[in-house]
A and B are shown apart, each in its own frame.
Chain A
């Protein structure tokens, strides 16, 4: 009983911490995205609310909260309402196992990495639900695209993840991080890092892989019909997904919390935000791929490379050990 109480308290604290982190992180990331895009495009970005527009996203969030929640006619109501929740829940769960520092993690599961990958697949289901339930052709097209894309990109993502897991010999995030105390995996597995970042960008539906919500083709893709807070949750989930993908990449390749002088948490967050910056940089540089090219790219380039990387890794490991 006492075990459950202690564990319950830990989980409860963790949940509160995670929810506040998700909210603050999303607010910060949206501001960051605006600033990064603005400066790439020679403009200042938001400047009015707060210092350099730092509070702009809070104002926007308030606006979104105040907006009417429109439920269009003829939608599949239950699914329409459930989709944002299904989108958001797995995102929360993933935070359970992310080690921010040797001590700051909620649950050090021995299948932690798998948990993140397993729950991230639910995002696809949520997108499909949203697109289907909206009863809108643009939404449905976006949802179908999203599914094909995510299925195609999950394979190379898991394959590259496998090569790292092979090296570490464990699915436990903290073990993977501790093994990089001396040399970060990015120096051992540069190709895997590259593939992982590409697939991660695709998994989070970000440009140049943002075809499920390609605004010039599908208006807003799967969330065309969502308004107000429901739309905001999709937005929140998108940015939190970015954070999770970057966090996993940090755990896998950038040595997690390792780094001199600064406290581990700071190092971890620094690395995560650096990767997020990279993803934003992609978004504001590249045009969007076409749907079939995207799939071709995954099958013809990413998967062979990931397989090759995995085989070479296994081979080298066998030789070394």
Chain B
């Protein structure tokens, strides 16, 4: 327990707090823009956890892609959503309960998994984050994931183009 009060421990607590707090804002806030900001905060915290796991590259990617790109994209979507001055529908207790139960279930399953897994110490991984290594991994060990992501992105882009084409009907300008 005492190691939680070292510099590293304190920062860990801070990061976990950020992640959890951000997550709560993300689901709890009633202003949709606040939700996104909460999400950004939470993802920022996740990046910090990656740092603790000795994966600075992933941490940076987390910020670059999730905070920098995804959240911004969500903000964009918000601009197209219902205006905020509209009265918001009241919360239904049943829905709240259901959501809470669902989230609890996921948590329990994850926790059980974490308990069961025999964790390999991180030291076994290499510390080499050069471009060559990452490229190598992407085309060998993680090739399937890489390709799958590319496909998804391609589909998303095509969808975006189709939507943009049909959306406004202002092609002439």
Q: B44's closest neighbor in chain A, by CB? A: A122
Number of A-B contacts (CB under 8 A): 81
* Nearest chain A CB to B90 CB, angstrom units: 21
Interchain CB contact under 8 A, B76 and A147: yes
* Nearest chain A CB to B67 CB, angstrom units: 7
Judge if A1 is at the interface, Cβ distance under 8 Å: yes
B18-66, CB < 8 A from A: 31, 33-34, 37, 40, 56-57, 59-61, 63-64
Q: Which of B33, B71, B132 contacts A79 (CB 8 A)?
A: B33
Judge if A263 is at the interface, Cβ distance under 8 Å: no
Q: B33's closest neighbor in chain A, by CB? A: A132
Interchain CB contact under 8 A, A169 and B72: no
Interchain CB contact under 8 A, B64 and A121: yes
Judge if A304 is at the interface, Cβ distance under 8 Å: no
Instruction: Compute how far the CA of A117 lies from the CA of B60 in the bound complex, rounded to whole angstroms.
Output: 9
Judge if A213 is at the interface, Cβ distance under 8 Å: no
- Chain B contact patch, size range: 20 to 34
- Chain A contact patch, size range: 20 to 34
B124-146, CB < 8 A from A: 129-132
* Given A4-B6, A8-B7, A169-B130, A111 contacting B56 (CB threshold 8 A): yes
Judge if A24 is at the interface, Cβ distance under 8 Å: no
Instruction: Compute how far the CA of A109 lies from the CA of B132 in the bound complex, rounded to whole angstroms.
Output: 17
* Nearest chain A CB to B40 CB, angstrom units: 6
Judge if B16 is at the interface, Cβ distance under 8 Å: no
* Nearest chain A CB to B145 CB, angstrom units: 20
* Given A76-B33, A166-B131, A117 contacting B6 (CB threshold 8 A): no
Instruction: Compute how far the CA of A147 lies from the CA of B75 in the bound complex, rounded to whole angstroms.
Output: 9
* Given A125-B67, A132-B33, A169 contacting B57 (CB threshold 8 A): no
* Nearest chain A CB to B171 CB, angstrom units: 12
Q: B73's closest neighbor in chain A, by CB? A: A151
* Nearest chain A CB to B28 CB, angstrom units: 14
Interchain CB contact under 8 A, A121 and B68: yes
Interchain CB contact under 8 A, B72 and A124: yes
Interchain CB contact under 8 A, A128 and B68: no
Judge if A118 is at the interface, Cβ distance under 8 Å: yes
* Nearest chain A CB to B119 CB, angstrom units: 24
Interchain CB contact under 8 A, A119 and B69: no
* Nearest chain A CB to B154 CB, angstrom units: 15
B68-93, CB < 8 A from A: 68-69, 71-73, 75-76, 79
Interchain CB contact under 8 A, B60 and A114: yes
Which chain B residues have a beta carbon within 8 Å of chain A's beta carbons? 6-8, 31, 33-34, 37, 40, 56-57, 59-61, 63-64, 67-69, 71-73, 75-76, 79, 129-132
